[in-house]
A = this chain, B = another copy of it.
């Protein structure tokens, strides 16, 4: 029951990284919308390793194949199913993980949850690869939302303690970071971040970071008080992205240290529209959209899989055992997670519209 999200637009994700395929079913999309498949591929390419999104050499295996719900490129009102065949797998790397779990990884919990029958290969269905179907659903959702004037974008706000600029939360400028290979607002800071990542790679270590995401164009009044406010629904979706360990809206944890007189946003009128002068509330009041941009930040822990030797236990012998993870591992997932956070926000908003 974990792989389902939403009521108006129901999203069901299936697959493990080493099963035959992974995929998603999106049910509830209105009929009659012509989907731009190239934009969807480009969006998904932003998350896939070793891909230049403007290149014409896409790894065929990573292209989502639509099985249903679309006729001649137009949604027909029936559930939309897309699958991605799994290829390029290396099963050998994962054998010893069944008995000696990787620290900070889901091996341990999944083993106990499924009594040893979980699919360990590549992390089973806990793998970062599972963000591909999420991104597909998000990309499709974003096309519907754009028709309503709603835009969603995100950038790397921090990696390894090196900070990018933040969005101007009153008037968000996405600055086309979705077209950049390294999605930051300040490219100089981006360079420093990349150096930190390389340094970690050389040390067989990893780094984490923070992603800032914004949603503009929301109408006033979206969301419900109490349990289905915008914060509730967005956070419920965002924590589906692996490695996410925190989320804050508007002034968030910093705002908790301010006085009310500092944190409250005054109302004013601008071009006949009621807006706020500042946006510490992050576009959400009482769980409901105020019309100002929704802005939130997501904390991503450093990648658990590091090459350095780590202390673990042998689950069968119940003794400590050292573990060294071999294989290809990304020292920082934050850049690849940027479209995933946008996608999570998109499916959340689709369910509130």
Q: Is the CB of B78 within 8 A of A15?
A: yes
Known: A114-B31, A245-B256, A313-B274. A67 touches B226 (CB 8 A): no
- Decide if A236 is an interface residue (CB 8 Å cutoff): yes
Known: A19-B68, A106-B288, A109-B288. A239 touches B245 (CB 8 A): no
Shortest distance from the beta carbon of A343 to any chain B beta carbon, whole Å: 13
Q: Mark A215-258, 1 if CB is under 8 A from B, else 0.
A: 00000110111111101110111011010111111111101111
Q: Is the CB of A205 within 8 A of B31?
A: no
Question: Interface with B: A44-52, A146-154, A259-267, which one?
Answer: A259-267
- Decide if A141 is an interface residue (CB 8 Å cutoff): no
- Bound CA–CA A71/B20 (angstroms): 10
Q: Is the CB of A12 within 8 A of B31?
A: no
- Decide if A104 is an interface residue (CB 8 Å cutoff): yes
Q: Is the CB of A2 within 8 A of B266?
A: no
Q: Report the interface size class on chain A.
A: 35 or more
Q: Is the CB of B1 within 8 A of A27?
A: yes
Q: Which residue from chain B places its CB closest to the CB of A282 in the assembled complex?
A: B245
- Decide if A299 is an interface residue (CB 8 Å cutoff): yes
- Decide if A144 is an interface residue (CB 8 Å cutoff): no
Q: Is the CB of A75 within 8 A of B286?
A: no
Q: What copy number does this chain have within its complex? A: 4
Residues of B within 8 A of A104 (CB): 260, 263-265, 280-281, 285
Question: Interface with B: A55-63, A118-126, A172-180, A182-190, which one?
Answer: A118-126
- Decide if A40 is an interface residue (CB 8 Å cutoff): no
Partner of A79, one of B3, B68, B253, B303: B3
Q: Mark A110-122, 1 if CB is under 8 A from B, else 0.
A: 1011111111010
A-B contact sample (7 more), CB < 8 A, given A208-B256, A245-B250, A266-B312: A1-B228, A76-B117, A108-B274, A110-B288, A232-B236, A260-B305, A274-B315
Please report A residues at the B interface, Cβ cutoff 8 Å: 1-5, 7-8, 10, 12-16, 19-23, 25, 27-28, 31-32, 65-71, 74-81, 83, 101, 103-106, 108-110, 112-119, 121, 124-126, 130, 158, 160-161, 200, 203, 205-210, 220-221, 223-229, 231-233, 235-237, 239-240, 242, 244-253, 255-269, 272, 274, 276-277, 280-282, 285-290, 299-306, 308, 310-313, 315, 318-320, 331
